[in-house]
Chains A and B, each alone.
Chain A
Amino acid sequence: MAISASNMLLHDLNTGRNKMIFATSLILGIFLVVQSRSFIGVTIVNTRDSASNMFRELQVLRDTNKSLTDEIGSLENVLAKSKDSSLILKALEDEIHKFNVITGGLPVYGPGIKVSAPVTTEVASLVDLVNELFNSGAEAVSINGVRLTGNSFGLDGIPSGQILLKGNILTTPYVLMAIGDSTTMENTLRQVGGFLRRYEKKHPGKTLKIEKKDRIDMEKAE
């Protein structure tokens, strides 16, 4: 029976019309593969960053320059205090305090947001989320209670699908806390074309839980 069927197929292929159908189907299959690959390629690149916006570009530059100008004012103040014999000690202690806060040497608190990400969240999305939080003005960020300081807080995927941070396997859901302007941070995540929309597009049926908090406490970094 099987031999008979294959003989029939060979016979059919020998006819000119069927050869054309076969060739056309083959071409169609190639187009299907090319098309699906091109969609996948574009999706990978585009889902991780927001769309182009020239006004946003100019706004970022203007805000950055304002921030730099403020920093200059602050540094001029430190320099003036360091030159005033009655304020030298105070200037040093203020500097120590400031850099202790920056480097995670002190426990801190402040307003902010809490973002809970479901178990399906992979390393790239967590990296992008942390980036988006700092981009929207977060001054301190923690993941599952681990404060992100120094340069040793890389997120690493392990074969079991879990994520490693500073040698600890993170439990799910991943809970990110960010201290900063809670309204700006929330709006940035939720904006059209923003992180939340891109996340939902990448993880159909999943979303992030974003909550504003009046006070978030973070322990000093280990």
Chain B
Amino acid sequence: MSARLSTIFVVLGILIGLFFAAQFRTGIPIDGTYPADQYQARQNLIKDFLDEQGILRNQIANLNGQIDEQQKKNQALLSRTKLSYLNELKSAAGLTSIKGRGIEIQLSDSPGANRESTGVIPEALVQAADLRDIINLLRTGNASAIAINNQRILPTTHISAVGNSILVNNFYVAPPFSITAVADEDFLYARLNDITTLVDLKKRATQYLMPFTLTLRTHISLSPYNGDFRLKYVIARP
């Protein structure tokens, strides 16, 4: 009897040991195994690219403004109907600022979670997928314009993760995230509060104390898009 019990305890002990080992080895991805000097070089390169990006985006905003001004000056020579139509199209393409009632969603990483840290728990960070899910939900509510940290969301916008960084339209966005939408705010408020929506995000926000708030706004102002448009392969059919 004693031998049998000992065997049972040995087997149980091994099993517990295995579970301990599996638990501690569960794949929390390590993102920063490269040496410190490579990391520093990468940070410097990224900073250079981002500085350049800021300059280029300002230039685009300025040029769009100059074109609008020039077209206004040309009003006498152009069809007013066509000019008005172009302005409508530009507005639909996200090239004009938009104001109106709407909703603001504020979302951030768990307090104390450092995106640059090698040991950070991914679930405690806002993921690109979380932002995609929120944008998708806002679109189901027919939002007329959406932005993340003042970066306008277009139909072609992609929100991707590169490591622990998040890119919107290939532009860096960092927490805290402010997602604003000009829309029917009551409908969207109800949708966002619905327990069947954003289930994973809401669960993680509770578990990791991630700030996640919704605010109805009577006045939201979204800046125009100041990036590029890709039209290399798509051709209008006659």
Contact = CB atoms under 8 A, between A and B. Distances in A.
B76 to A, nearest CB: 10
Nearest to A131: B158
Contacts of B64: 75
Given A21-B8, A101-B234, A127-B132, A61 B46 contact: yes
B97 to A, nearest CB: 15
Contacts of A28: 12, 15-16, 19
A105 B231 contact: no
Given A35-B26, A61-B49, A179-B233, A46 B137 contact: no
B108 to A, nearest CB: 16
A154 B137 contact: yes
A32 B139 contact: no
Interface string B65-91: 011001100100110001101100110
Given A52-B162, A135-B160, A24 B12 contact: yes
A178 to B, nearest CB: 10
B209 interface: no
A54 B93 contact: no
Given A96-B89, A179-B233, A134 B156 contact: yes
A108 interface: yes
A71 interface: yes
A118 interface: no
A128 interface: yes
Interface stretch (A5-13, A145-153, A203-211): A145-153
A155 interface: yes
Interface in A165-203: 179-181
B176 interface: no
Contacts of B229: 71, 98, 102
23 contacts: A21-B5, A24-B12, A28-B16, A31-B16, A31-B20, A31-B23, A51-B29, A52-B29, A57-B42, A60-B162, A71-B228, A89-B78, A92-B78, A96-B82, A97-B236, A99-B90, A105-B89, A127-B132, A127-B136, A134-B156, A154-B141, A180-B230, A181-B233
Given A38-B23, A44-B200, A83-B70, 4 more contacts: A25-B12, A62-B49, A89-B78, A92-B83
